[in-house]
Structure 1
Amino acid sequence: MAIKSLNIVSYGLYLLTRSNRFLAASVLKMMNGQITLRLLHSLENNPRLREALKRKKARVELLDSWILYKLRSGNGIDKNIDHISDITSATATGLFDPFTLSWSPLGKVLFGIEPWLLPKVVDNGYRYFGHIHPNALGPEWQNTFISIEAVVSDQTAALWGSQCFERGDVKITMGTGAFLNLNTGNDCHASLMGMYPLVAWQFRDIQERAQTVYCVEGASHDMGTVIEWAQQCGFFTSPMETSAIAESVSDTNGVYFIPSFSGLGPPINDHRAASGFIGITPSTTREHLVRAILESIVFRIVQLCETVEKESKYTLRLLRVDGGVSHNDFVCQLLADATGSCVERATSIESSILGATYMVGYNCGLWNSFDKLRRLRQIERTFMPRPEYYSSIRKHIVIWLKAIERFKNCLLRSRWNQSGIEVEASESIGS
């Protein structure tokens, strides 16, 4: 109810001020992957934690701040270690306001989360991340000094790994989920369709003035998860087989799959949508089902691409893909054909690791410009769009969208997040 009230009030303020900040707040939703819901669950079900917070004997750690603390303390307890988080990690919590670049007061107003509980937010070039305590590495490292030169969230690291340094550059990470990130430069984008603005990275110049770059992100959380499920069900023995299996048939024989184990994200935004096949007949084969699964993955990414193009001024002519699923040639080629964009796959698809390495080198002065980093990119293959397939694919997408309507708002059981927390229970089915 509090979130709905915030949405209504914020939209009214947006109509008066035309401020993107209020526009973003008018469609704000709490997602299961954010820290907010998990923190509220812990506060509600852990009396010791509530008491410790009252006595200021506990504090909230984000993933990066917790890892930093463990590395710097040597897995011990050291109250003198700074409670800090890098800005790219903080902005993904739902409690950080990317427009003001500070913790939002709504955390206290709506959820009772005091600002002092949260870590101090620092830029990605922060000079005082410290060094790794020898005890965190083992006895053989006791005389080793290793400084911590960069802290960055995974999707920002993937942006760097894909060399998306310019406004309008876009990368799509195809891992457990699919994450589309578009570099929007100094523009903090507000979306009405479920995309969300993030700080892509921030550095400070010699005068300590912040130089902030933003991105807009959209996610489809069931990509690798769907493939893993299909493997467990016996559709194939290895994900590496799926491309050949899908290409062994000319189409899905009228079968469509809805990949909604975690609901459907932008632009549908139905967290109660169900997964399933539709159109199965006696002539349906395993190959048809596998192809339908892969097509559904691509169609969800197409939705993200079309949403970001519709809401921004950018045309996505080049899609840089990374992550385990980007190994799949069928997925990459279908994505190129369905969007009309070139799909570029680098030699190294582990862009997050590569990007974090680039940022360390950048902070250390090993590379002093983005141009030097761009020269390091090696392309394994570029998938060119085939115009002769575009019309047919678009017709399939239209039918797939109609199939989605059958699966909307029809969750019939409890939904649990990865932490084992029941986040929703439903006994009704939508029309």
Structure 2
Amino acid sequence: MTHPGARMLLVAATASGQGKTTITAALARGLVRQGQRVRVFKCGPDFIDPMLLERACGSKVHTLDLWMVGLEACRRRLAQAARDADVVLIEGVMGLYDGNPSAADLSRAFDIPVLAVIDASAMAQTAGAVVQGLRDYGPVQMAGVVANRVASDGHRQMVATSLRGIPLLASLPKQARTLPERHLGLVLPAEVDDIDVILDELADQLHLDTQAWQAIAPRLPDHAAPEQPIPPLLAGKTVAVARDAAFCFIYSANLDVLRQLGAQLAFFSPLADQPVPTGANAVWLPGGYPELHMAALSKAAHWRDSIRAAHAAGLPILAECGGMMAVAESITDKDGHCFTMPALLPGQVFMQQRLAGLGSQGMPTAAGEMRGHTFHYSHLDTGLAPVAHTVKHPSGAQGEAVYRLGSLTATYFHSFFASNPLATAGLFAKGTA
């Protein structure tokens, strides 16, 4: 019997801040509570939204990005999800046509219809013009619209009438409680005590037109080229991975690649003053929010001494963005408060109001380009000369500095390991970085 596939929608908007994550989470939670099997993806390089969406749907949320992840890898992910689930939701990034590649590019690459989220709080009939513009500019398939922050049934009806045949698939009233945010996006779900209550409230408030929903036909993406096997270049090695509220920007796919390379993973929490695990052969310090936990990290003597000892012993250490900040000499917050760090990397980190780096980039390695992205509100003041720079995509301009000091590789760049597993092995294999 032929598999019918899944209902597949790309949730997009005119810009950031319209409520894409809220709507995607509310829809996912509501469908899961109805007994539907839901898989959710995030378009573009984002760490925080997937954590919230995982909480909403109860399954892993992977990244889809035509450049960073690759066309065939995205196709494999989507095809597998459509076989495993009843519904596949993809949350877009920024506005529908923003970026290169954009969410619209992803929609067209896989023939996935768009569910447009409109912030209706300050408009009514104009919603129709906005939605038709979103549909026709590309063009893209338009499955329907979600009107966010509607004031009343009458307001919702005005929006619906303006759409001229495009279904108003759902609406959500103005929310008394919203998902909390901070400078790099949403607050981490684990830090919100009643996050599941908020998600359930959003699902309860989402008014779904069941007839319009049922009209969306399930489909199955085309078969993708088979994945190339990854040689077990890290077999017998243990990679220590820092993971806590200060080191939380971890693609699920990155952990998968390390395991496929044959590595054993040992997680530890610098924030809880846990040392680098005994027997580790390499250390990964991913990005996160060390700037929110500077006082605790500065007092974490076991963590500090163990990472210094790992560096002195020549263990390969990859420190990315927040991970790099946490092994500099110090971090100074926006109010001028300075906290000492382990000082593996000479230099001081300074937080700032203005965004210092954002966008897709590629890092040169001995095994070819590693793709990923950058996103930070701090700068490193160091006299150490970089060994290389990343390259911005698609402009080709110089990107982030890459520093190497002994066995330490440090940069603001976040690597997507699946873009180059051989380069990943080189970063964690002694003497081959």
Q: TM-score range by the shorter chain?
A: under 0.3
Higher strand share: 2
Higher helix share: 1
Return the TM-score normalized by structure 1. Answer: 0.26
Return the TM-score normalized by structure 2. Answer: 0.26
